[in-house]
A and B are shown apart, each in its own frame.
Chain A
Amino acid sequence: MSDAVLAVSGLTVTIGTRRGPARAVAGVDWSVQAGQTLALVGESGSGKSMSVLAATGLAPRAARVTGSVRLLGSDFTALPADRRRRMRGRHVGFVFQDPMTSLNPVLSVGRQVAEAGEEHLGLTRRAARTRAIELLDLVGIPSAAQRVDAYPHQFSGGMRQRVVIAMALACEPDLLIADEPTTALDVTTQAQIVELVADLQQRLGTAVVWITHDLGVVAGIADTVAVMYAGRIVEQGPVEAVFDRPGHPYTSALLAARPEPGAGGGDLVTIAGAPPSPHDLPAGCAFWPRCPVRGDARCEHELPPLVPVAGAHHVRTFYPQRPDGEGR
């Protein structure tokens, strides 16, 4: 685990709000190796994005972040703000959810792709432009040399997301963070973007943290997966293990809620109830009120530890699901 590109342990994020402190992330451990993909999965508000933003120093100012973050072996949280900014820009690339809003409407795409190179690699404007054309070409923008001076509104959604990926790759980062990069795109384009990232990852050996709630994407690209619920990891492990033998009732329920193509027009499966408020987290298992297993008083009052079930596969529950116990 020492060669992890990014490793967080005991990461906690508390956000001061008018209604009091809200614990968005409550002690999370994960790491990602070079060339590997970690998928962070969970509902909106489960803390998956916040844990990544906090780890890279991009949490909102109102957030209090504790825990340890090691980026490329150095203690990232201990660095002064300016060093952190440089290190982040040089070694970490970000792809955001909505390519319609993550590009500046008044700058040409070339200038935006070139920006990181000018800032961190000390490229001249001309060299940065040449580099921008290379990058646009790399992410599959046709006739990149002509398109480099075009503005974002002249691109389609999928093409814009390619531009955003080119921006993220400008400094050949060791880590690419993709925060629901396919959510705002239509299904065909989604597949193209997923394929593009997987292909680039293979060629460049980049580590990828992929934040999503699309389990189909996870199955396709991830090596390891961490399922988050109410700010905690409830299940973590190699993707095959988690998908084939989910140990936590929440993971089982999530997998069961996937819409099946060609399954006909029946109602979609849902998980009853809603996640707890981050202002008022239960003392015990946060999933207990919605849990189909609903063990006993211990679940209600005592936080289950994250325990190994097989190899690197960990589950946070007192009552791990058995592989044959599925399909309630």
Chain B
Amino acid sequence: MSAPTVSPSEGQLRRAASALRHDPLALTGAAVLVLLVVVGVAGPWLAPSGINDVDVDRMLQAPSWAHPFGTDELGRDVLSRVMVAARVSLQVGAVSVGIALLAGVTLGLFAGYYRGWVDNLLMRCMDVLFAFPVLLLAVAIVAVLGPGLLTAMIAIGVVYTPIFARVTRAGVLSVREQVFVRAAVSIGASDLRIMRRHVLPNIAAPLIVQTSLSLAFAILSEAALSFLGLGVQPPAPAWGRMLYDGRGFVTDAWWLGVFPGAAIFCTVLAFNLVGDALRDVLDPRQLTVNEARRSTG
């Protein structure tokens, strides 16, 4: 009983950080993400030319030193547009996953903490949302709200809410049975306080993993929506939209599709690499093993 034990979340997070440092794939992913954030924040100033600098004299030029990613059918610099579009992708990722996280975690907390009919009502609603294919539901929501960046973000956020609700509820169900939650009840802490102070910090690990993976899916979903013309509206650049615009020139001007596509690919891959590495060290099963050890050890 007196063996030194490590709390699940704290120790796990520290372990995660050190594991990431020693995992070359995760390190690469993290480096790409850092680059992406820098470009996303400073893109408009770093870009070699304006995103809407139309120049018919240089339309559909192949990649060269002057235009490393080539130019599009209006003579606009593809590199500049890819760089500026990084901001859109990051914004979509952050806002839509933020919506999903906030809504999903709140619903999951209430469902798991109160159980009974609250649980049934909330989780059956989530099941209904979950039953639709992701993109179909997003398209339906955008169709109702009208196309645009904001509605795309809301749609993606709604679509990913059930995943967060489920992950949260599963964690809450096990944490709420812990004695320290009973201890908090005994000192007269309110339900909201117990959820915020005692339950939520103990389920942070699986939520962190889910967040990093969802960011990748959200960016991919936005690209798909933009490709379908339901996301960012022209002339503002978005990777998915650029893919769509470039598809007519795929035999004559491959660079129009390849570079935005590569940007999507690298971003999603980077989030997945980091997410996978986090999952390996923060695995809920791993957590359960540690908890079992803690209670019997």
Contact = CB atoms under 8 A, between A and B. Distances in A.
A and B from one complex: yes
Interface of A: 56, 58, 85-90, 92-94, 96-98, 100-107, 111, 115-116, 119-120, 151-153, 156-157, 164, 167-168, 170, 184, 186
Interface string B31-57: 000000000000000000000000000
For chain B, give the interface size range. 20 to 34
B144 interface: no
Nearest to B2: A157
A311 to B, nearest CB: 34
A103 B186 contact: no
A154 to B, nearest CB: 8
Given A119-B187, A170-B187, A151 B295 contact: no
A280 to B, nearest CB: 28
A103 B1 contact: no
A265 B141 CA distance: 77
B1 A100 contact: yes
Contact of B188 (A90, A101, A106, A107): A90
24 contacts: A58-B182, A88-B186, A89-B189, A94-B186, A100-B5, A101-B295, A102-B180, A102-B183, A103-B183, A104-B180, A104-B202, A105-B8, A105-B202, A106-B10, A106-B204, A111-B197, A115-B189, A115-B197, A116-B189, A119-B189, A120-B188, A153-B5, A153-B10, A153-B11
Given A85-B188, A105-B10, A105-B202, A96 B5 contact: no
A157 B159 CA distance: 46
Contact of A94 (B11, B187, B204, B295): B187
A94 to B, nearest CB: 4
A100 B294 contact: yes
Contacts of A88: 186, 188
A167 B187 contact: yes
B183 A153 contact: no
Given A102-B182, A104-B197, A151-B10, 14 more contacts: A58-B185, A89-B188, A94-B186, A101-B179, A102-B180, A104-B184, A104-B198, A105-B180, A107-B198, A115-B193, A116-B188, A153-B7, A153-B10, A157-B1
Contacts of B228: none
B4 interface: yes
Contacts of B11: 153
Residue among B1, B193, B202 having the largest count of chain A Cβ atoms under 10 Å: B1
Residue among A96, A97, A153 having the largest count of chain B Cβ atoms under 10 Å: A153
B180 A101 contact: yes
Given A101-B178, A106-B201, A157-B2, A58 B186 contact: yes
Nearest to B1: A157
Given A101-B178, A101-B179, A101-B180, A106 B187 contact: no
Interface string B1-33: 110111111110000000000000000000000
Contacts of A104: 180, 184, 197-198, 201-202
Residue among B2, B9, B178, B295 having the largest count of chain A Cβ atoms under 10 Å: B2
Nearest to B9: A106
B7 A106 contact: yes
A254 B137 CA distance: 67
Nearest to A97: B179
A280 B107 CA distance: 41
A231 B44 CA distance: 75
B184 to A, nearest CB: 7
A281 B187 CA distance: 34
Residue among B9, B184, B186, B198 having the largest count of chain A Cβ atoms under 10 Å: B186
Contacts of B185: 58
B190 interface: yes
